[in-house]
Amino acid sequence: MSQKNYYVVLNARSGTANALGITPETLQQRFSDAGHSVTLDGDTDEPLANRIERAKASGADVIVAAGGDGTATAIASAIVDTDTVLAVLPLGTINLLARDLRLPLDLGQWIAALETMQPRRIDVGEANGRTFLHKVVIGFIPGVAAGREKIRGRSELSVKIGFVRYFFRRLLRTRRIAVEIKYRSGETRVERVIAIAVADNDYAEGPGRFFSRERLDGGSLSLYVLKHLTIRDLVRLTLGMLMGNWRHDEALEIENVNSVTIRTRKSPIKVMIDGEVETFEVPLHFKIRPGALWVLAPSRAETAVPEAAVPDESTPAATVEA
């Protein structure tokens, strides 16, 4: 990929970029020192949508999302179903997509590995026409995430302690919402839940694996229904993730579907989409778009794995109504 035309969209306000003080000038120099000629857009005063349009218009072979998961999702939304390749330079706080792609998280190591990365196709999820690369969550989690956004970039101990208190207050005050799950066959069932997540492919089990996916091209959505969440549930689920046996926890129901529609009586609602909290109108219509996006990944990510079970057209989708 060394001869490719790279266009870098830098979000200098993302977690790691901000913490390390990465500027457009320093990042441009890092690419130049490694022998890569790139066009770099670091104008954070310009709306991201405008910057992405410039990147598309440039005719670049590869658009580099230099930021967090939100930056990668925004660029992916613009180039899905095209021949343009997305490269994810993990400069965010959590960098879930980069971890799933097995990308180096260190800036120097990432730039050094760029020349050997290969394009591969991955699935994308879609919610009401909006692309997502990881998951969409409604219920308890978006409220907590909104509180996290208020302290983003602040590292004082008092702030962190305050957020922990906020989290547990939210947890103790959270009430389950009634949901109706309606399958494509017409069958329905009623549940009361704390949260529902729709993920682009399935989360794997394994010691210490938190929200980690083994593959990104399995061709299905995963529906996670969190039925209750007490402090005991939270401790048990956390320990289960650390030990690698959380998928059969009594608080969770999991199923794979090709599509799912979520409807609530309240509209609009707060939704967390790939780590960003936004407002969506309901119903929320979800579907999977297999192999719709080209991404760069280390060659070892191309190692063959068994085909995942993909629901056929007879698999019921679900409608959730609260």
**CA dist 230 → 9, 169, 196, 242 (Å):** 41, 12, 16, 18
Note the pTM of the prediction, 2 decimals. Answer: 0.83
CATH class of 135-288+307-321: mainly beta
Three-state DSSP class for residue 285 = strand
Q: What are the E-state strand segments in the chain? A: 6-10, 38-41, 62-67, 85-90, 118-127, 130-132, 135-139, 177-183, 188-193, 195-200, 221-226, 252-257, 259-263, 269-273, 276-280, 284-297, 318-321
Determine the pLDDT at residue 254: 94
**Residuewise pLDDT in 10s, the chain (322 residues):** 446 899 999 998 888 888 888 899 999 999 999 999 899 999 988 999 999 999 999 999 999 999 999 999 999 999 999 999 999 999 988 899 999 999 999 999 999 999 999 999 999 999 999 999 999 998 876 655 555 555 455 556 665 566 466 555 666 667 887 777 776 666 677 778 888 999 999 999 888 777 889 999 999 999 999 998 888 888 888 898 888 888 889 999 999 888 888 888 888 988 889 988 899 998 999 999 999 999 999 975 443 333 333 334 334 444 444 4
CA distances from 206 to 5, 27, 70, 239 (A): 38, 35, 26, 12
C-alpha to C-alpha distance for 180 and 168, rounded to whole angstroms:
28
How many CA atoms are closer than 13 Å to the CA of 101, on its beta-carbon side? 30
Which residue has 């009401």 as its token pair?
128
Contact (CB, 8 A) for 310 and 100 = no
Q: What is the DSSP string of 33-96?
A: HTT--EEEE--TTS-HHHHHHHHHHTT-SEEEEEE-HHHHHHHHHHHTTSSPEEEEEE-SSS-H
Question: What pLDDT score does 306 carry?
Answer: 36
Neighbours of 291 (CB within 10 A): 14
Q: How many alpha carbons fall within 13 Å on the CB side of residue 112?
A: 6
CA distance 42 to 28: 10
The SS3 assignment for 24 reads helix
Measured CA to CA in angstroms, residue 136 lies from 2, 265, 284, 287, 316 at distances of: 35, 18, 10, 12, 20
* From the candidate CATH numbers 2.40.10.120, 3.30.390.10, 3.90.1150.10, 3.40.50.10330, the one assigned to the domain spanning 6-116: 3.40.50.10330
Using alpha carbons, select from 277, 305, 144 the residue that is nearest to residue 216. 305
Q: How far apart are CA 5 and CA 9, in angstroms?
A: 13
Q: Are 35 and 149 in contact (CB under 8 A)?
A: no
Of residues 46, 125, 69, the one with CA closest to residue 288: 125
Report d(CA 174, CA 181) in Å as an integer. Answer: 21
Phi then psi dihedrals of residue 223, to 5 deg: -105, 120
- The residue ranges of every structural domain in the chain are 6-116, 135-288+307-321
- C-alpha distances (whole Å) from 65 to each of 157, 218, 295 are 31, 24, 11
